[in-house]
Structure 1
Amino acid sequence: MRWQVRGERTVYAGGWLDVTIADVRLPDGRQIDHHVIVYPYPAVGVVVTRPSDGAVLLLWRHRFTTDSWSWEVPAGRMEEGETPEQAGERETLEETGWRPGPLRSLITYHPFNGTARQTFHILRADEADYVGEPVDAYESDRIEWVPAADLARHIHEGRVNNGLSLTALLHHLAFPES
């Protein structure tokens, strides 16, 4: 069953997101107004592993929106004209001071497709070179190579509580050779 969009109007336009109301016809013929959050730029997250021991480069950071702390993969929105790989390298370097090695795509998904138009690209690098202090040092409280053996425990105990990082790290644990 496909919902038919008959039109869409913007009710809020901001730099990071827009809110629209879609005029939707349901399969049973009813018409509804459906709010949609539109993110104009896709986001990227990067799982960076260290070849010597499989540790993963993570940031420990506070998010004021949920007043919570979490381990996160380097991530951010793609700039206009960037490929996921270019954005992944830029974000990793800016946030951690490490330049990831060759990046490859793991998955692309829509994090909350019932209410938002947004795309997340998850990439992986199996090496990184330390370049220097991160440009965006305000992004995290600390940056660490977290042992692979600790990832599942951190997830289980709620220390990875954001969707992008959780998806990226669970994919990494489920498909370690991907």
Structure 2
Amino acid sequence: MRWTVHSEKPLYTDRWLDVRIADVEISGGRRLDHRLLRTSPAAGAVVLNGADEVLLEWRHRFITDTWAYEIPMGGVEPGESPRKAAAREVEEETGWRPGPLRPLLCLHPSPGISDSEHHVFFADSAERVGDPAEDWEAERIEWVPLADVPALVADRKVVSGTSMAALLRVYGVGRPV
């Protein structure tokens, strides 16, 4: 059944996040207030090298207090295409410039509460161009064997839903054509 949205009001808004409350009607004419998050799209990439290793960031996320690997990813700036944002984010966060990017997948990681849309691309090469632009993005940048991805997921060393979906997509299905 499709819910009917009667109204939506902002509760808090800044450049990163728009927290809202929606008056929605569900089955049987029942209505409820539903909180939701509206965000700008994000873009990132799975980057492989010739040794079948994937470029990953080892980083801490304070909200969940977890250390784990993630693909490079960040916000799409106004007027920027998701592909350009993915290339920019990979270079800024890792110091590696990805080769040509091809679409891999697009997902909504938490559609029950957020409209967040993640565009993930794939590159099968990268060129080292320097250090990451910021020292706070990751503890370290590593080339990790793609074959290790299932064990990393099982060991909770990949916990980001977007990173997990993208890495398992490349591991299980292979490179996009």
Q: TM-score range by the shorter chain?
A: over 0.9
Q: 1:170 offset after TM fit, Å?
A: 1.2
- Residue of structure 1 equivalent to 2:143: 145
Contact 2:147 2:171 in 1 (8 A): no
**Secondary structure of 1:11 counterpart:** strand
Candidates 60, 74, 85, aligned match of 1:87: 85
Contact 1:84 1:121 in 2 (8 A): yes
- Residue of structure 2 equivalent to 1:13: 13
Residue type at the aligned position of 2:28: D
Q: 1:27 offset after TM fit, Å?
A: 3.0
Identity %: 46
Q: TM (normalized to structure 1)?
A: 0.95
Q: Does 1:46 align with 2:45?
A: yes
Q: 1:137 offset after TM fit, Å?
A: 2.5
| In 2: Cα distance, 1:172 partner to 1:20 partner | 35
- Residue of structure 2 equivalent to 1:159: 157
The 5 A counterparts of 1:125-144 are 125-144=123-142
CA RMSD of aligned residues (A): 1.0
Q: TM (normalized to structure 2)?
A: 0.95
The 5 A counterparts of 1:58-137 are 58-137=56-135
Q: Does 1:26 align with 2:26?
A: yes
Q: 1:70 offset after TM fit, Å?
A: 0.4
Residue type at the aligned position of 1:58: L
Over 6 Å off, 4+ runs: none
Gaps of 5+ in 1: none
Deviation digits for residues 136-174 of structure 1, max 9, x if unmatched? 232111111101222211111110011121111111112
| In 1: Cα distance, 2:27 partner to 2:96 partner | 50
Residue type at the aligned position of 1:160: V
| In 2: Cα distance, 1:32 partner to 1:138 partner | 40
| In 1: Cα distance, 2:26 partner to 2:146 partner | 46
Q: 1:67 offset after TM fit, Å?
A: 1.1
Residue type at the aligned position of 1:27: S
Residue type at the aligned position of 1:163: G
Q: 1:15 offset after TM fit, Å?
A: 2.2
| In 1: Cα distance, 2:83 partner to 2:72 partner | 13
Contact 1:8 1:22 in 2 (8 A): yes
Gaps of 5+ in 2: none
